[in-house]
Chain A
């Protein structure tokens, strides 16, 4: 992770009582994207929060029932909430997101834009 390279240098990101605010770049993007859509009036924090509660509850239900699921990851729930909020408000069609994600996933390894 590029963050490790910055450790110990003056450029290291600040820690919040010993913890990075975002541990992966995508988490920061997902956070900032939700905040920007709220600022732009595309949905409200309350709507977003309902989706977040649902995403977290979904993970907890799956976890409680012993089904094989992914380990707890708060920002994955955040991203799921963001996708639901975007879909519910018809900002971007779900298929368009899936197509774009598939196209990006098909890029050659090491492709560095």
Chain B
């Protein structure tokens, strides 16, 4: 990745004009590195961490443990930061996290209307649809319809709560535990928990299929 010549990008140059993002990023990175303001190896390490080590499996483990342990579930819903700190989840110290539990009659869904705030430490970086202008604008206005379009039909009686993230507060949805999973070990439960279910745009599917 890193070489003395000074380019850590690992890609070949096609025709890019000076206003292309490829060239702008390269120029900015090289200047910042030359002046000692940024460090290429640290940048490599950060991007690799987000590509390989941080992702929805971290949030899934938290959800599975909350399903299996009523005491942990209670703490998670009242003081998620403390639970996350106890579990030694890296990067969580910069985020204040609130967990919202789905239950019969209540469904929670998360958005960031202004940009793309998201619980990085628990879910990694957000998917493209989460960052799209359409989702950000519409899920607040017509959540039921947006969720239906994404494949999640909710009963008319179910209340939908939309949580708008901010730099201060990031939200994670605690999905409902599917029936038929009694007595499962947390590792197996965690495998059922998808990223989308923790954003609130999907349910956790019954192990036997629906």
Residues of A whose CB lies within 8 Å of any CB of B are: 2, 13-14, 16-17, 19, 21-22, 24-33, 35-37, 39-40, 42, 45-46, 49, 52-53, 56-57, 59-60, 63, 72, 74-76, 79, 82-83, 86, 91-92, 96-98, 100-105, 107, 109-113
Contacts and interface: CB of A to CB of B under 8 A. Distances in A.
- Residue among A28, A40, A63, A82 having the largest count of chain B Cβ atoms under 10 Å: A28
A109 B5 contact: no
B13 A110 contact: yes
Nearest to B166: A49
Contact of A39 (B42, B52, B131): B42
Contacts of B56: 16-17
Nearest to A103: B27
A95 B37 CA distance: 18
A100 B30 contact: yes
Interface residues of B, number: 57
Contacts of B132: 72, 74
Contact of A104 (B18, B38, B43, B50): B18
Contacts of B47: 22, 28-29, 31-32
Given A16-B195, A37-B32, A40-B37, A45 B167 contact: yes
A25 B13 contact: no
Contact of A92 (B19, B31, B196): B31
Contact of A26 (B22, B38, B124): B22
B115 A79 contact: no
Contact of B94 (A19, A36, A45, A101): A45
Interface string B39-61: 10011101100111001100000
Nearest to A110: B13
